[in-house]
Amino acid sequence: MLVLAEFNVLRPDPGLLFWSVLIFLIFWFLMAKFAFKPITNALIKRENHIQDALNDARKAKEELRRIQTENEKLLDEARQERAQLLKDAKDQGSKIVEEAKSKAKEEAGKILTQAKEEIENQKKAALHDVKNQVTTLALNVAEQVVRKNLSDQEGQVQLVKGLVDDINLS
Amino acid sequence: MNHTFRLIQSYLIAGFLLFTGVNFVTAQDHDDHHEGNHHSEPDEGHGGEYDPANTAFHHISDQNVYSLGFADLPLPCFLYAKDGGWDVFMSSKFGIGHHGNGHYAYNRYVLVESIVRRITDESFPMGKVELSDHPYHHEMVMVDGKEKEQVTVNYDGNHYNLENKSTLDGGLMGGGLTSFYDFSLTKNVVSLLLIAIFLFIVFSAVAKRYKQDALRAPKGVQSFLEPIFLFIQDEVAKPFLGHKWQKYLPFLMCLFFLIFALNLFGQIPFLGNANVTGNLTFTMVLAVIAFFVVNFSGKKAYWEHVFWMPGVPVFVKPILTVVEVMGVFIKPLTLMLRLAANITAGHMIIVIFVSLIFIFNEAGQNMVGSVPGLALSVPLTMFMMAIELLVALVQAFVFTILTASYIGAAIEEHH
């Protein structure tokens, strides 16, 4: 029969105890100093860096959005201004045309009035002339009539008639 | 019948350990009763009856030889005897044979099942002494009304009693103080040392990368370790320790990574399967250090809660004091038992599942029996190893998170 293997797992062994304590304490000290502390510090540093970067990115985004809205606003304003300007120009144009039209009309009116006046004047003058001529003619007629023999009634009437006809014909 | 009975017994022990981690002694006593029939029979070597329980005990115990299965590596022995002083030599001096049984005695030390024992009789010659084939026997003797195992060595026709190394259980676990102490670099010590050095090299390399440029993206081993590191930092240290997490983080990390690495190392086949985290001595060391860390950092509020619980009626306070003071010691005790029991149970079950092959083929005498043995053993062992991978992580995590919670309770200023 085999010798029963020594089952020492559940028995606290001073040798293993000593080495375990020694190795664990040294391990703890070395790992803390050369591994875990530097790693933790680096991780904290990186975490902060990432957080900062994220914050910066958020800030930049907000800034960009702000600039965009501002641009939009400026563009809108410009657009409105342009529309206003166009409208103004149009208005101005039509006004000028209107003015020109009214001025032209006025001028035309004036010219017409002047023409009318001129015509009137000419007419008056003509009439006056006619009157004068008529008067002259009448006087001529009368003179001729007078100069002819007034005794001859028939002849006189004939004469006058001839004279009048002459006048009408002329 | 015999091996079937031993097998069932081993299953029971393993199962029991899984859940409680105690009560092994009674099981082993029982074992010894059974073994009583075979008193003083000579060692039959490999051709003999196969005993899975013995194999399991052999594999999970701490030893003075680092056995890889295909080779036995000798380890340095530092032995101290009260009457003989220090003896320092390599265990190869014993001429390591089958089952780790030595062919030689050296300065009255012998190697039995890979463990050093001492010949108490002073008439045995000192120096290197060649022993006969199969010189070791064991028998049950009555000591103070209790049956006890006595291992002897046969030399020149005389039986010399062998003594085990001193253990600190005060006879509670079948050990006790004897004539010598073993401070050797045993298999467990060597494994612990190797893993500690390995972790230190890996972590210093990783730390170097962090030190060079903390803002660089992780790479290689660093990318593998960083999530684990951050997991322990963010899910264990920070929630339990509050703003003081940085002070205790190295301790928690040491616990986690050392336990985790040792658990995994113990599972690699042909690397010795060292059962360091399943050894009660090692978990005791961790638990005791955790106990000191917890109680040395205890604040006023913590001690108030232990000795004079605020916010309860006065007549309840003394009862709670008793409970709380017990709790201070029970907490590390459970840490110690939980880890050791889980890992030891896992190792035992795997050894026993592998043993199924040798049970079915009757230790190589009935090779047809290997077929059902293999059919049973391979899937069961694979299943158990998969479970053990999980257990390795879970137990390391549980030990760490519970330690963190105990420290957290101790450093809490007020609640």
Q: What is the mean pLDDT of chain B?
A: 84
The answer, yes or no, to whether residue B26 has pLDDT greater than 80, is no
- pLDDT, tens digit, 9 for 90 and up, residues B389-402: 999 999 999 999 99
Nearest CA in chain B to A39: B207
Host domain of residue A43: 22-169
Task: Classify residue B56: in a domain, yes or no.
Answer: no
- What pLDDT does residue B408 have? 93
Question: Which of B128, B152, B184 is the last residue in one of the domains?
Answer: B184
- What pLDDT does residue A17 have? 94
The answer, yes or no, to whether residue B27 has pLDDT greater than 80, is no
Q: Which of A1, A31, A39 is nearest residue B254 as measured by Cβ atoms?
A: A31
Measured distance CA(B395)–CA(B174) in Å, rounded = 27
Asked whether residue B153 falls in the same domain as residue B134, the answer is yes
The answer, yes or no, to whether residue B11 has pLDDT greater than 70, is no
Asked whether residue B213 falls in the same domain as residue B341, the answer is yes
* Core vs surface per residue A27-47: b (16+ CB within 10 A) or e: bbebbbebbbbbbbebbeebe
Q: Does A23 contact B at CB distance below 8 Å?
A: yes
In 10 A of CB B14, how many CB atoms? 22
- What pLDDT does residue B43 have? 38
Query: How many domains is chain B built from?
Result: 2
The answer, yes or no, to whether residue B157 has pLDDT greater than 50, is yes
Residue with tokens 């890979």: B114
Task: Classify residue A3: in a domain, yes or no.
Answer: no
The letter for the amino acid at B43 is: D
Task: Classify residue A62: in a domain, yes or no.
Answer: yes
- What pLDDT does residue B358 have? 86
Asked whether residue B179 falls in the same domain as residue B207, the answer is no
The answer, yes or no, to whether residue B45 has pLDDT greater than 60, is no
- What pLDDT does residue B46 have? 42
- pLDDT, tens digit, 9 for 90 and up, residues B362-394: 777 777 878 888 899 999 999 999 999 999 999
Host domain of residue B92: 72-184
Asked whether residue B214 falls in the same domain as residue B131, the answer is no
Q: What is the dihedral of CA A53, A59, A60, A66, to 10 degrees?
A: 170
Between the alpha carbon of residue B349 and those of residues A111, A154, B7, B11, the distances in Å are 130, 179, 10, 7
Instruction: Give residue B231's pLDDT band: very low, low, confident or very high (50, 70, 90).
Output: very high
Asked if B255 contacts B403 with a C-beta cutoff of 8 angstroms, the reply is yes
State what percent of residues in chain B have pLDDT above 90. Answer: 47
The answer, yes or no, to whether residue A138 has pLDDT greater than 60, is yes
The answer to whether B249 contacts A36, with C-beta atoms less than 8 Å apart, is: yes
- What pLDDT does residue B175 have? 77
Task: Classify residue B26: in a domain, yes or no.
Answer: no
Asked whether residue B245 falls in the same domain as residue B156, the answer is no
The answer to whether A3 contacts B60, with C-beta atoms less than 8 Å apart, is: no
**Which chain A residues have a beta carbon less than 8 Å from that of B51?**
2
Asked whether residue B91 falls in the same domain as residue B220, the answer is no
Cα–Cα nearest to B90, from B185, B166, B162: B185
The letter for the amino acid at B298 is: G
Asked whether residue B305 falls in the same domain as residue B365, the answer is yes
- Residue B177 corresponds to which tokens in the numbers above? 């103080």
Between the alpha carbon of residue B247 and those of residues A22, A28, B199, B298, B314, the distances in Å are 21, 13, 21, 14, 36
- pLDDT, tens digit, 9 for 90 and up, residues B184-222: 999 999 999 999 999 999 999 999 999 888 888 888 899
Q: Which of A24, A35, A37 is nearest residue B285 as measured by Cβ atoms?
A: A24
- Picking from B154, B236, B281 by the largest number of A CB atoms within 10 A of its own CB, the best residue to mutate is B281
Q: What is the average pLDDT across A10-31? A: 93
- What pLDDT does residue A124 have? 82
- What pLDDT does residue B35 have? 34
Q: What does the DSSP assignment read for B39-92?
A: TTPPP-GGGS---HHHHHHHHHS--SEEE-SS-EEE-EEEEEETTTEEEEEEGG
Question: Which of B133, B155, B184 is the last residue in one of the domains?
Answer: B184
- What pLDDT does residue A148 have? 65
- Residue B283 corresponds to which tokens in the numbers above? 């978990």
Helix, strand, coil % in chain B, rounded to nearest 5: 55, 15, 30
- The listed range with the strongest mean pLDDT (A161-170, B5-14, B131-140) is B131-140
Q: What is the mean pLDDT of chain A?
A: 86
Q: What is the average pLDDT across B43-51? A: 53
| Number of A–B residue contacts, CB under 8 Å | 205
Nearest CA in chain B to A19: B189
Asked if B272 contacts B408 with a C-beta cutoff of 8 angstroms, the reply is no
Q: Starting at the earlier edge strand, list the strands of the sheet with B180-182.
A: B85-90, B76-81, B180-182
Q: Which of B38, B167, B183 is nearest residue A11 as measured by Cβ atoms?
A: B167
Measured in degrees and rounded to the nearest 5, phi and psi for residue B178 equal -125, -160
Long-range contacts of B221-227 (CB under 8 A, 24+ apart): B226/A43
The answer to whether B57 contacts A4, with C-beta atoms less than 8 Å apart, is: yes
**Which chain B residues have a beta carbon less than 8 Å from that of A17?**
168, 281, 284-285
- What pLDDT does residue B13 have? 56
State what percent of residues in chain A have pLDDT above 70. Answer: 89
**Which chain B residues have a beta carbon less than 8 Å from that of A47?**
none
The answer to whether A2 contacts B115, with C-beta atoms less than 8 Å apart, is: no
| pTM above threshold 0.80 | no
Nearest CA in chain B to A31: B200
Query: How many domains is chain A built from?
Result: 1
Q: Does A53 contact B at CB distance below 8 Å?
A: no
- What pLDDT does residue B24 have? 34
The answer to whether B164 contacts A16, with C-beta atoms less than 8 Å apart, is: no
